Amino acid sequence: MKFIRKVTIPSICFVMTLVSLQAQAQAARDSKPIQAHSGSVNALAFSPDGKCVATAGEDMLAKVWEVSSGKELFTLKAHTARLTTVTFSPDGKYLLTAGWDDTARIWDAKTGKLLRSLPGAGGSVAFSPDGKRIASSTKGGEMNALLWDAEAATILRTFKGTGNGNAIAFSPDGKKVATGSGNADTGPGGEVMVWDAETGKNICTTKLDSSVIGTLSFSSDGTKVLVGIVPQTAAGEPDTSVKQDVRILEAETGKTLTRLEGAGVMAAYTGDYTHIVTGAADGALAVWVAAAPYEKKEIKSPKASLVSVASSQDGSLIAAGYADGLVRISDAPGKGPSGEKRSAGSMPVFELRTYHAAAGKLDDLNARFRDHTVKLFAKHGITSVAYFTPQPNDGNKLIYLLAFPNSEARDKSFKEFGEDPEWKSAFAASEANGKLVDKVDSVIMAPTDYNASLSKKAAGDGWIPIDMAKLKAGESKPKVDSLTFELRTYTANPGKLDALNARFRDHTCKLFAKHGMQNLIYCVPVSKKDGADDTLIYLIAHKSRAEADKDWAGFGTDPDWIAARDASEKDGKILAKPPVSIYLVPTDYSPIR
């Protein structure tokens, strides 16, 4: 992200350009395809943290791979027929596999140990969002679907008449289950059925003539169902003469809301629900914006027989599985190095830390950072971006921002930092008269896409120039005493984070600049517990604290802002509560000050 500052304010270098971070992240991942299976790769799934990808093959095996290196971590052996599904539990602790031997299996995702089996569960399975239940098709010929207790491996409910169960999916709130059917044995045509997960009642059924349902995925609010369709001839064979379209259905009625023309035969929402990944049998891959007008970006891919696709939780990585057993992992266009929305294991991340100093110890804490911590951070590859104290500082706090090439690098750097004898010595000496910190709050964040898109604009559009390489080298630290920074946290209503980001992307950032505010960084948390589904955190700057009040007053009454706000909220309020604002003053050792 390169941020451009207006020339009317003295220039500062707030170093956040992701160029060097992105280069490190890209280099960390082996770009060569993985020879995953001896037969076709029938299913793929990323772990929630994006560090691993699981594959399921025609060869009756499931395997887990390290994304950054392409190294095989372990193989899951127990199935006696081809595998058709593999998926991680939402917390990443378990793997679920299923295939044509009509027994699903649950595995320890860290060790590959088989934990329990679900006899009678067919080839399509899915975890509920809380990981406590599993939805599955049934063994061949029974034409039902089942709801299981994941821990007890017992059946809770039967959904009757679902068809042969080619695909199955939970809505994000766990209240609905969608099933998809159709194959050569039952003749041309398939059905998408949506069910109430608690009662087993059928909500709606959509008949799709001359088609088989291949994939199903719910939208973030559960109101839409994304359907990957395989056209069929009258004889029940794949029909390559028919255009391969993906459909989006209304979950309550089954009505077709839109078609992604020529998208292919498989489709899924990305883990952050902002985009749709599609694949065609001839190997064509694409990513679509998950809202009208559904803008499409092609992914460079070989013309080969594509069998399966998967997206990382943040949508930044795409995995494709092929009939020849190969798996290829690539950055999603516009989301990989640019850092769209959430970070996976290979994407740049920022960490916002708040230290609650012990009573009377804030000066000592600042001294430790000034004399030791910042230097040792740099020694271990931790990039210091900024250090602040709130104004007023009623809570005796130190707030600071760090940057890393990816989440894996962060973990490695902090481990090495914590084991450094120099740090241990400095820590012990600084706390000889008592501990300095009562509590530490940490939020790991990924930059939004509009940081990158606006970074390419010319000076004067309200973005502060950022150069990560210079910051890492300690070469650029101009001082601007009068500048006031503001850290703001927005909490969106359920399903409204995309709309909030769209409003900032298209309107708010530009209007901030118009009214004298300087844009620095906009991020969303990576973890759900920190607000990944509903939180936007950003940092801006004002000429002074007094000017900040004037900036906000002008912005709030601007007709352009009022029109943009009203248009964005025609379908409901975006924010769940008023924004939280903290004014900040840089410390004397901060790279930005």
Q: Express each pLDDT in 312-328 by its tens digit.
A: 887 888 999 999 999 99
Q: In the prediction, which pLDDT does 255 show?
A: 93
How is residue 259 written in tokens? 């078609």
User: If you write DSSP's letter for every residue of 460-486 in order, what string do you get?
Assistant: TSSB----HHHHHHT------TT-EEE
415-459, pLDDT tens digit by residue?
A: 999 999 999 999 999 999 999 999 999 999 988 877 643 343 333
What distance in Å separates the CA atoms of residue 268 and residue 264, rounded to the nearest whole number? Answer: 11
Listed range (110-119, 120-129, 133-142, 420-429) with the worst mean pLDDT: 133-142
Closest CA to 216 of 194, 197, 233: 194
Q: In the prediction, which pLDDT does 236 show?
A: 55
CB 195 within 8 A of CB 180: no
> Does 27 score more than 70 pLDDT?
no
More confident: 4 or 173: 173
HSE toward the beta carbon, residue 411, CA cutoff 13 A: 7
Averaged pLDDT, 188-199: 86
225-266, pLDDT tens digit by residue?
A: 999 988 766 655 556 666 778 999 999 999 999 999 888 889
Query: For residue 499, which phi and psi values (nearest 5 degrees)?
Result: -65, -35
> How far lies 186's CA from each of 192, 198, 429, 482, in Å?
15, 29, 75, 74
> How far lies 583's CA from each of 482, 516, 535, in Å?
13, 16, 19
Averaged pLDDT, 399-428: 92
All structural domains of the chain, each given as residue ranges with its CATH number in brackets, are: 30-331 (2.130.10.10), 346-586 (3.30.70.100)
Q: In the prediction, which pLDDT does 474 show?
A: 47
Averaged pLDDT, 75-80: 95
CB 28 within 8 A of CB 346: yes
146 strand-pairing partners: 136, 158
How is residue 213 written in tokens? 């349902």
> How far lies 246's CA from each of 212, 287, 315, 566, 587, in Å?
12, 12, 19, 32, 53
Report if pTM > 0.75: no
Q: In the prediction, which pLDDT does 138 show?
A: 85
- For residue 333, whether the previous peptide bond is cis, meaning omega lies within 30 degrees of 0, is no
**pLDDT, the chain, mean:** 83
> Does 385 score more than 80 pLDDT?
yes
Averaged pLDDT, 578-586: 95
Q: In the prediction, which pLDDT does 36 show?
A: 95
Closest CA to 220 of 169, 288, 289, 173: 173
Percent of the chain whose pLDDT exceeds 70: 82
> How far lies 290's CA from each of 41, 247, 277, 395, 443, in Å?
26, 12, 9, 42, 27
Q: In the prediction, which pLDDT does 11 show?
A: 31
Q: In the prediction, which pLDDT does 16 show?
A: 37
